[in-house]
Chains A and B, each alone.
Chain A
């Protein structure tokens, strides 16, 4: 992959992304939703199990905005036919995918970073015995949450390329994220419940936010994020394969 071509492709992708309708609102929305839900969780919480996790619980809501951002960057192009121009300019499909992935990752990393820091700060102020900001495990939770958001974005990008239609893509990704925790509500078997928490992209990935009771978690913090990364990798491979095989 030529780095010069990749650089140009990234620039093009950035231009397309930032001129997307409602781009700024989506970024503002990501931060606002994440911080608001986190603050609501902390405010009035009586029994604080894991302060960092509580303060960062807004990520469960903020990720939906990241999904929209990623899906729109693909479905918008297919919807308007812009994808044909994109692929004429950069015929190497992998380069297009890589450029989109890089630009989206950077955007969500920065925005998500703001959201995560804001959530932790508010949690620190609202919670008595709130998360210590410089503590090693809190840093892991913060960094892990940003990485979680990036991985979810890339997951949505892969699915977006695989199915192309925006509604179907975001429906699929959100179902994949939210249905595992809902399913654990119904499942009565403790073994199956634990397995679902290990396999589901959202429950496994969010294990990275844990700062207390690590030995009782169904899956370790970094291992859990690794499970999400596997889902993301699979989605990107699938999206890349579809992009290569099918005509625009």
Chain B
């Protein structure tokens, strides 16, 4: 209790006073305060239930490598390499890229020849064979022509298209000068086209020939993946500069990694081919050098989104609080008093909106800030892989969860004013947020309607929690059923915020028109 004098001394004016009055109304209802605490606890509880049991598949990767940018990556390839201690260049002719695919419709052991679109046979420069290391590569691919890629997330198309064959070989070259590595390609080994430049750390690096192949992804129907193995045939590598030692073979990453697997009966390896011009190599590999994505291309792993599914409990609880915060005044007749004290109705509504938004933001961001590290620790404890994302994206998910709940609370408050009944308001809130999410991401709706639902309804706002990345250079099925929102994180949030503001404006309008 404060004395009258204290109250008078601290009495602010106008909007602040209205806000203070609303805050007093809010904090003096014990159920509302308990509700906020309960909402946060329930959000955290979800992640504990989700990670209750340990990984039953010992083959499932316990930890995914993390790339230079902080993202989870696949880094598994067959590598014939030498040490390059300073500046130098590596030039090679790729004469074939072939492969074996498991036939998804055939029985076990049925295979057919073929390569996946992003199967790779090329040359690479990397400071270390540890998965997740920085690199620069120029590579022939199964269906995307010659590409220059570096540090997993960067991908550039070159001028050469098609698959290399003995009749149409593709020449690849990497030139290291200081920290810079420049990639070139050529059809004949004499006329070269520069593709681009990227950097690798200084000092000794491993450079050489590599082959890898992601699993074959069925992009139609339910989506699934099946093993694929690729074999690249190379001519004799031409070297200039400071090279050391002889050629050695390594399978980088212990097996084919999370996004690839060897077709039964095939293994990674290499063979030196003697021909007229000297020694060339045939290298067989599976896996990928690429960021990890969701869907059939990814393995079983926990993501930021799955840790945050408990947000729905928080959303429903806070929605109930916000709707009651509006509707309770109608029911108890307090509104007459409130409006007598503050005749400016817009100001009362504004104060209520600011208050519920602030409370919801604190609850949401707080719960998310606890849930993410807790979930990660729990997942590691039970031997599940975690799809690591850069710190900036984690921060976005935490703040985004707070903003998401804040916008949802404003929406619930406005629905409470518009519909006057908190039962109807809550159901409307759940029907436009939780239900579309469940229908779209639960795989109940086909892709088309599911994507429209996540573009138009307030459920689009959940995109702000999206941490699953999508990359052009990784083939997957980027649909809601695999956890992919059609809108970018802040774009999706803007849809939700738009709905909340529109509802608030409508509420302000009817509040002015209606009797208390």
**Contact partners of A91 in chain B: CB under 8 A:** none
With A and B bound together, what is the CA distance between A168 and B302 in angstroms?
32
Question: B423 near A68 (CB under 8 angstroms)?
Answer: yes
Q: Is the CB of B300 within 8 A of A182?
A: no
B304 to chain A, nearest CB (A): 12
> Which residue on A lies nearest to B448, using beta carbons?
A44
Cβ of A175 and Cβ of B438 under 8 Å apart? no
Residues from chain A with a CB closer than 8 A to the CB of B320 are: 167-168, 171
Given contacts A40-B449, A171-B426, A185 and B441 within 8 Å (CB-CB): yes
Cβ of B435 under 8 Å from chain A: yes
A188, B431: Cβ atoms closer than 8 Å = no
Contact A178–B438 (Cβ < 8 Å): yes
Contact yes or no, A189 B52, CB < 8 A:
yes
> CA A190 – CA B53 in complex, angstroms?
10
Inter-subunit contact A174/B427 (CB<8 Å): yes
A166, A175, A188: which has the most chain B beta carbons within 10 Å?
A188
**B388 near A: Cβ within 8 Å?**
no
Instruction: Scan residues 338-386 of chain B and give those whose CB is less than 8 A from a CB of chain A.
Output: 384
List which A163-179 residues lie within 8 A (CB) of chain B: 165-171, 174-175, 178-179
Kindly state whether residue A6 has any CB partner on chain B within 8 Å: no
Those of B38-89 within 8 Å (CB) of chain A: 46-47, 49-53, 55-56
Query: In whole angstroms, how far apart are the Cα atoms of A75 and B327 in the complex?
Result: 12
A174 touches B423 (CB 8 A): no
A64, B424: Cβ atoms closer than 8 Å: no
CB distance from A6 to the nearest CB of B (A): 26
CA distance A68 to B52 in the complex (A): 34
Cβ-defined contact, A174 with B445, below 8 A: no
Point out the residues of chain B lying under 8 angstroms from A116, CB to CB: none
Contact in complex: A186, B430 (CB < 8 Å):
no
| Distance in Å: Cβ of B303 to nearest Cβ of chain A | 10
Cβ of B220 under 8 Å from chain A: yes
Q: Which residues of B have CB within 8 Å of A86?
A: none
The answer to whether B446 touches A174 (Cβ under 8 A) is no
Chain B minimum-CB-distance residue to A67: B427
Contact check, A72 vs B423: say whether CB atoms are below 8 A apart.
yes
Which of A41, A169, A179 is most buried by chain B, counting CB atoms within 10 A of its CB? A179
Q: Are B439 and A165 interface neighbours, CB within 8 A? A: no
Known A41-B444, A167-B422, A171-B319; contact A178-B53, beta-carbon cutoff 8 A: no
Instruction: Report whether B324 and A186 are in contact in the complex, using a CB–CB cutoff of 8 Å.
Output: no
Tally A-B pairs: CB < 8 A.
134
Are A185 and B306 within 8 A (Cβ)? yes
Nearest-neighbour CB distance to chain B for A77, whole angstroms, equals 12
- Tell me the smallest distance from the CB of A175 to a CB of chain B, in Å: 5
* Binary per-residue interface labels of chain B (309-343) against chain A in the complex, 1 for a CB within 8 Å, 0 otherwise: 10011001101100110010001000000000000
Q: Let me know if A248 is at the binding interface, CB within 8 A.
A: no
Shortest Cβ distance from B330 into A: residue:
A79
The docked-state distance in angstroms from the alpha carbon of A192 to that of B49 is 9
Is the beta-carbon distance between B427 and A47 smaller than 8 angstroms?
Answer: no
Q: How far, in whole Å, are A168 and B197 apart by their CA atoms in the complex?
A: 60
Q: For the complex, is A247 an interface residue (Cβ under 8 Å from B)?
A: no
- Which of A41, A71, A174 makes the CB contact (< 8 A) with B430? A174
What's the nearest-Cβ distance from chain B to residue A66, in Å?
10
Say which residue of B312, B331, B424 sits within 8 Å of A179 (CB atoms). B312
- In the complex, what's the smallest C-beta–C-beta distance from B306 to chain A, in angstroms? 5
A residues within 8 A CB of B427?
64-65, 67-68, 71, 170, 174
Say yes or no: is B241 at the interface (Cβ < 8 Å to chain A). no
What string of 1s and 0s marks CB contacts (under 8 Å) between A136-178 and chain B? 0000000000000000000000000000011111110011001
Contact yes or no, A41 B446, CB < 8 A: yes
Contact of A46 with B423 in the complex, beta carbons under 8 Å: no
15 A-B contact pairs sorted by A residue (CB < 8 Å): A22-B424, A40-B449, A44-B448, A47-B222, A57-B445, A61-B431, A61-B435, A67-B427, A68-B424, A71-B427, A72-B423, A178-B435, A185-B306, A185-B441, A188-B384
Contacts A182-B309, A189-B52 supplied; 10 other A-B pairs, CB < 8 Å = A33-B431, A41-B445, A41-B446, A44-B446, A44-B447, A64-B435, A65-B427, A67-B427, A68-B423, A171-B316
Residues of B at the A interface (CB closer than 8 Å) are: 46-47, 49-53, 55-56, 220-222, 300, 302, 306, 309, 312-313, 316-317, 319-320, 323-324, 327, 331, 384, 416, 421-427, 430-431, 434-435, 438-439, 441-442, 444-449
